[in-house]
Structures are given as structure tokens and as C-alpha cells.
Amino acid sequence: MRLNHAFRAAPFALALPLLLPTFATAQQAIPETIVTATRIPTEAERVPAAITVLTRQDIEERGYQTLSEALATVPGMNLVQAGGLGQQASIFVRGTASRHVLVLLDGVPVNDPSEPNGAFNFGNELLGDIERIEVVRGPGSSLYGSGAIGGVINLVTRRAPAGVPLQVFGDLAGGSQGTARGALGAAGSLQGWNYLVVGQGLTTQGSDATPRRMNNDTKETESLRAGAGTARFGWAGGSTSVEGLLRWRENRLELDNVPNDDPNYEGNDRRWFGQLRAETGLFDGIWTTGLRAAVTEDRRRYLNLPDSRSSASTDDLYRGQRQTLDWGNRIRLGDLGPFSMAGLAFGVTHEHESVEANSGSPGFRTTTDASANSTALHAGLQARLGPRLDLSAGLRRDSADDYDGFTSWRLGTVLALPEVASRLHASAGTAFKAPSLYQRFGRIGSFFRGNPNLEAEDSFAWEIGAETDLPLFGRSDGATASATYFNTRTNNLINFNRSFSSLENIEKASSQGVELALTARPFRWLDARLGWTITEARDEVTDAPLARRPRNVVSAGARIAPTDRIVISPEVLFTGPSPDTASYDNAGRFISGVNYNKSGTVLNLTASYRVTPAITTYVEGRNLGNSRWEPANGFVTPGRSLLVGTRFVF
């Protein structure tokens, strides 16, 4: 593995937050509770993992419309979207593959089983019903099983406010590119009962996804019609609660091909998600136990009829379903000898996946019709040793019908150093990605058969980092600096065999890097943040750089609040040159080998004005510099846009 100067400087980068504030006072930040990282509600400072939390306030003040927009500036991530709103969007976490990130909705996996590689499309989700987004980077299979090699993203839906019989909230906006957006919801709590109903929609004519550099660009735009609805109803009394959740989301969109525009290529992507959950406390709340049953059903159809530009036709249909049954437990162990604040989480999870898929042209038709079951036992333990050392451990065994299963683990520690207002964290663990049903049982015509004997893709990863509060600008935490070094090795990666007649576990990859962050609070009205992720990801067999993993990604943002009514939130995202193995020249000819997409910079700005305590108006500007950067070769980032709107809560 070749190391650049940034990696050689990694030890200094990690030590820097500790060297600066040798005269600092103890940290005084209000603890934030994280659930996704351990399954036990835990203060963020005690979690031995790199985490990012985006709250409802962040989503609104920064003007995030979709999940892909919200995650674009999260450290350690590279977002690649093939076009504008609603288009296919992939995330590469810490140099791992896009299929190596697991997405949860209220703790339940929602990756589409019918996607050939099991990857999640981040371009689909609207955020009107989302309260917070928890991002945990690093291996998460010891908690959540298959797919969590690069990290876990948990979408937490909005909940009814306590003690309020009726709260009505909404959002209405419109602007350039024929864009209109709206959301309307009601929620409340009364005598132990609670409810939430939210509807949201987005329509836009979109922008041209084909780069102007291409000779055959027709300047055709790709539209999106997206809708979603969420309903929750529940009851809580004492330490017992019962609730049901139903969520629907459907997108109708126009698509584009590379290297040619296509005037009648369209898609429909729909998901139904439902769950029933019950939880109760035993032995005065020492033991909390709960049952959850959930169903996710995905249906995707892509249609393209012959036209003047192409005689080819497409009629692809994918159906995927996942049924989840989970028994989860949390036990507060309290003090155990030299340990304090000890907690144990354990449970059993059973999943059933099924796929019916039919895609591709005649003679090259791809079909999958299969199902599989898996059952997992998992346990996690955490405690504090002495006054400042937190320890955690997780273990999970996944057993499956059609592959050998996998045992994953993770160990972590956090050391508080209040004398220098710092903390050190380190962790290591394994993770895996089960072969998808397509990889095991899919067929392409008469010449390709999936391999039912595939093993799971697996990884070993470790990280070490430091975070420090700096006594600047007249306050003990005037700035916060952090640095985390990560290293991941992935084995048994699935790829085609030499004859392209099936698939085998034949690839290896490695990635390492540094996540650097600085938050400054020089004035009461200003919070500024800067993040820089340096990643080197390579194919261990060929030593070639892995596609769509840029070495440098830099993000900067701020919250400027000159009065208690005004909030201004600028964001800048710079992505360095990115290797790609699917590239096209200006004439639309395919370029073989590894080529580099040029770097790009995108500037966004959102400004909000609180008219009354219940009503806020805002302006959202996207790509204000009108960058023509290509996140994926052949697909340009959406052009400049402006949206004006208002939101309310009564």
C-alpha cells in the first residue's frame, strides 16, 4: 500500500488536538444521547466510534430536501449521484463499496433485497417525516448484521410531542426548475395515546444530467414526482409502550442514459414499510424487553420504448420483500466491582428475504426468483472502569439458509482526559456483507448462473482518534478539533469469474484515511465547521485505485444567527479528482481503464427568518456557482436553483 504525506503525518494529526489545549478546563457540553452505535441509549462522548447526528433543526436550517443532500457533507463519505433530485445516488463510506453501508428506518434494515448487490439508493428519500439521522462510521455487523462494513445510517422518524393534544406542522415552497414542495402533518398525545400523520410531496422539471461537453447533449431535463406518507399510532403507560408505524414512499422519475440522452426512459420506485413494536420494563425498569415485527416491500419498474435515438427497449421490474422479527433486551447492570454504569443488550433477530426480478433486453434477460432466511443472536456489553475509561464489546452470530453465516465482533474504548478537555477513542471489529439473492440465484440468458456456494464478503477494520475542546474566544469550548485515523481491509469480495459465467469470491481491497474536523465558536452568533477526509482505497490484487473514491473531500459550513429571528447557513463541498472505470469522451466513446473525473466545488446557501414563533420563511440556494462538476462520469451535478418557502408549527 502506497502512503501519501497525509498518512505519514497521521500520528501528528491525531496528537494535535491534545497538544494545543494543555491549559484548557474540563468540557461542559450538554450530553447527546446516541442509540444506533450501541443499541443502548448512550452519551455521545462515551461512544467509541465516529458518529454524526443531523437533527430536525439541522435539516431545516440547512435546507436539505432529500437524504442524499443531508449526507453529502458528512465526514468519511463520498456521495455520487447520477443526475438531479431523485436520481440514483450511492455513498462510499471510508473507501468501502456502496453496497457496504446499511440503512435503517427506526432501527429496521431497509436496503432493497431486489437490488442486485444489495446497495441502497440514497436519492429516493424525502425528509419531511424524519426527526434525526444518526450516522455511525466503521463496522456495525456486531449490532445489525449483513451490509454494515463501512457504516450504519439510521433514519429516526418524527414523534408526537409529549403533553400536546394537537400540533399541526407543515412546509410549502416553490422555485426554479418548476420545483414545488409541500408537507403537512399533525401529531399529539392525550391520556397515554399518541399519534402522528405526515404527508409530503415534491415535483420538479429538473435539470439536464448530461454534461455540456458531450457532443450529443440535447439539453433534455429529467423530472421527478415524489410523494410520501407516514402514520404512527401508539399507547404508553408506565414502563410499557405499544405502537404501529406505516410509511409509504413513491417516486416517478425520468432517467437518462450514458452517453446518449433518452427522451422516454422513465422509472417508478415505491416502498411500503410497516412495523408493530411493543416494549415493557421489568424489575422496576432494570430490564427492558421488546418485540418488533416489520415488513418492507420494494417495487421498482423502469420502462424505455424505442424512439428516434435508439431502437432498444427496456421493461425492467424488481420486487423485493424483507420480513423482520426481533426480540431485543436491555439490562441496566449498574455497578459491578470496579465497573460502573454497566449495561447489557442482547436479542434474537430473524429475517426472511424474497426477490422477483426480470430485467434486461431479449437474449440478455436477467431473472431472479428466490428467497432465503437468516437468524442472528447478538449481545453487547458496556461499562465504565474507574472515573474516565469506557469499554464496550459486541458479538453477533448470523446463521443463514444458503451461505455459511458469519460471526462478527467489535471492541471499543473511550478515555476521558478532563485535564486537557479531551477524549481518546479506539475500536476494532469485523463485519460482513451476505451474498445477495441475485448473486446466489440470478440468471442472465443461458450463459450466466449465480453461485449458491458464495461466501460472505468480510472485513476487519480499526480506528483511533482524539477530540479536544480549545479554550478560545473567551470560552472553554471556543473551538473543537478532532482527528480519526481509520483502516479497513475487505476480503472475499464478489466478482465475475474469468468466463463471466458466474460469480466468485476473488477480490480483496483496502482503504485507510484520516477524518479531520474543526468547529469554531468565535461569537455567540456564529458556529463554523470544517471537515477534511483523506482516503486511499485500492484493489489489493491489481493495486489500482478503487473507482469513485476520491483522495480528498473537504466540506465547510456555518450557522450564522445575527438575531434570534435570522439564521444563515452556507455550505461548501469540494471533491478532489476521483478515479472512475466507466468514463466517456466528448463524443460519447467509452474510455477503457482507470480515468480521473475532475475535481468540483458546490456552494449552497439557506437563509431563514422567523416571522412569528410559529411561522418561518426561508430561501434555499443550491449550486450557486453553477458548477458543471461530474460526480459520476457522464452525469453532471444539477445546475443553479433557488427555492422560496415557509414552514409552520401550531
> What is the structure's pLDDT at 14?
42
Using DSSP's 3-state secondary structure scheme, residue 22 falls into: coil
Nearest Cα neighbor of 197 from 236, 152, 244 is 244
Higher pLDDT: 314 or 9? It is 314
Confidence of residue 314 (pLDDT cuts 50, 70, 90): confident
Provide CB contacts within 8 A for 425, sequence distance 6+.
Answer: 47, 48, 49, 412, 413, 414, 415, 463, 464, 465, 466, 467, 484
Question: Which is it for strands 151-157 and 287-304: parallel, antiparallel or unpaired?
Answer: unpaired
How far, in Å, are 21, 269, 444, 516, 527 from residue 519 at the CA level?
A: 15, 39, 51, 10, 7
Using DSSP's 3-state secondary structure scheme, residue 559 falls into: strand
Using one digit for the tens of pLDDT, what is the confidence trace for 428-480?
999 999 999 999 999 999 899 999 999 999 999 999 999 999 999 999 999 99
Using one digit for the tens of pLDDT, what is the confidence trace for 391-441?
999 999 999 988 888 999 999 999 999 999 999 999 999 999 999 999 999
Cell of 195: 399519534
Report the topology of domain 5-649: Maltoporin; Chain A (2.40.170)
Using DSSP's 3-state secondary structure scheme, residue 568 falls into: strand
Range in 261-265, 470-474, 547-551, 560-564 the model is least confident about? 261-265
Nearest Cα neighbor of 638 from 629, 647, 650, 648 is 629
Please give the average per-residue pLDDT across 245-255, as a whole number: 95
How many CB atoms are closer than 10 A to CB 517? Answer: 21
**Dist. CA 423–CA 411, nearest whole Å:** 17
The amino acid sitting at 129 is D
Please give the average per-residue pLDDT across 243-268, as a whole number: 88
Percent of the chain with pLDDT over 90: 80
Given a cut of 90, whether residue 248 has pLDDT beyond it is yes
* Radius of gyration for the alpha carbons in the chain, expressed in angstroms and rounded: 24
**Dist. CA 394–CA 38, nearest whole Å:** 8
> What is the DSSP track for 63-119?
T--BHHHHHTTSTTEEEEESSSTTS-EEEEETT--GGGEEEEETTEE---TTSTT--
Confidence of residue 11 (pLDDT cuts 50, 70, 90): very low
Cell of 339: 465497573
Backbone φ and ψ for 616, nearest 5 degrees, come out as -130, 135
Place of cell 458556529: 527
**Dist. CA 141–CA 288, nearest whole Å:** 23
> What is the DSSP track for 489-524?
EEEEEEEE-TTSSSEEEEEEEEEEEEEEEEEEEEET
**Dist. CA 109–CA 398, nearest whole Å:** 15
Cell of 100: 457496504
Provide CB contacts within 8 A for 486, sequence distance 6+.
Answer: 50, 76, 94, 137, 138, 461, 462, 463, 511, 512, 513, 514, 515
Task: Calculate the average pLDDT of the chain.
Answer: 91
Given a cut of 50, whether residue 21 has pLDDT beyond it is no
> What letter does residue 449 receive in the DSSP assignment?
E
Confidence of residue 66 (pLDDT cuts 50, 70, 90): very high
Question: Burial letters for 440-450: b for 16+ Cβ neighbours within 10 Å, e otherwise?
Answer: bbbebeeebeb
**Dist. CA 88–CA 309, nearest whole Å:** 23
User: Are 254 and 302 spatial neighbours (Cβ–Cβ below 8 Å)?
Assistant: no
Given a cut of 80, whether residue 104 has pLDDT beyond it is yes
Using one digit for the tens of pLDDT, what is the confidence trace for 127-179?
999 999 999 999 999 999 999 999 999 999 999 999 999 999 999 999 999 99
The amino acid sitting at 550 is P
Cell of 643: 427555492
Confidence of residue 32 (pLDDT cuts 50, 70, 90): low
Question: Burial letters for 36-58: b for 16+ Cβ neighbours within 10 Å, e otherwise?
Answer: bbbbbebeebbbbbbbbbbeeeb
Given a cut of 60, whether residue 4 has pLDDT beyond it is no
Nearest Cα neighbor of 636 from 210, 80, 217, 207 is 210
Please give the average per-residue pLDDT across 202-225, as a whole number: 89
Confidence of residue 219 (pLDDT cuts 50, 70, 90): confident
**Dist. CA 316–CA 252, nearest whole Å:** 15
Given a cut of 60, whether residue 504 has pLDDT beyond it is yes
Please give the average per-residue pLDDT across 287-294, as a whole number: 96
Please give the average per-residue pLDDT across 79-87, as a whole number: 88
Please give the average per-residue pLDDT across 99-115, as a whole number: 95
Confidence of residue 86 (pLDDT cuts 50, 70, 90): confident
In sequence order, the β-bridge partners of residue 375 are 350, 399
Given a cut of 90, whether residue 622 has pLDDT beyond it is yes
**Dist. CA 174–CA 645, nearest whole Å:** 6
How far, in Å, are 262, 350, 403, 616, 648 from residue 436 at the CA level?
A: 30, 17, 10, 46, 43
CA torsion 86-92-96-101 (nearest 10°) is: -50
The amino acid sitting at 374 is S
**Dist. CA 627–CA 161, nearest whole Å:** 41
- Specify burial of residue 129 (Cβ count, 10 A radius: 0-12, 13-18, 19+): buried
